[in-house]
Amino acid sequence: MRHKGVLWGVVVHPLYRNVGVARELLGAAFTHARTMRLMQIHLRASTENHRARRLYTSSGLAGYGVERLSHPFPCLYFDEETMVLYLDGEHADASLLPL
């Protein structure tokens, strides 16, 4: 049974940032996920990516785990946090629980 979706590669062209495009895209993705009867949406974001993390938390996602030194960049490794949004009413509050 399909119950979980993963969002990957959320990017808005620099010319179109800061006007709500990503928030609209996330909303459309969540609506689509609900029509597919998915229960959970997961994604990952660098702990240094404050812009993306603020977008995700204000869209209802909550972090539940950090992978240290996950993302290799030239000469640098970033930590990545996995975040989840529970779409069904029964478990929705779980995404808001403190870690």
Joined tokens for residue 84 = 């989840």
Q: Which of 40, 47, 49, 82 binds ligand COA (CB under 6 A)?
A: 49
Q: Which of 51, 69, 79, 91 binds ligand COA (CB under 6 A)?
A: 51
Do 5 and 33 form a contact (C-beta atoms < 8 A)? yes
- Count of C-beta atoms within a 10 Å radius of residue 43: 21
Do 84 and 62 form a contact (C-beta atoms < 8 A)? yes
- Count of C-beta atoms within a 10 Å radius of residue 96: 10
Does 18 bind ligand COA (CB under 6 A)? Our answer is yes
Q: Which of 4, 17, 32, 91 binds ligand COA (CB under 6 A)?
A: 17
Q: Which of 5, 22, 39, 95 binds ligand COA (CB under 6 A)?
A: 22
Q: Applying CB under 6 A, which residues contact ligand COA?
A: 10-12, 17-23, 45, 49, 51-52, 54-55, 58
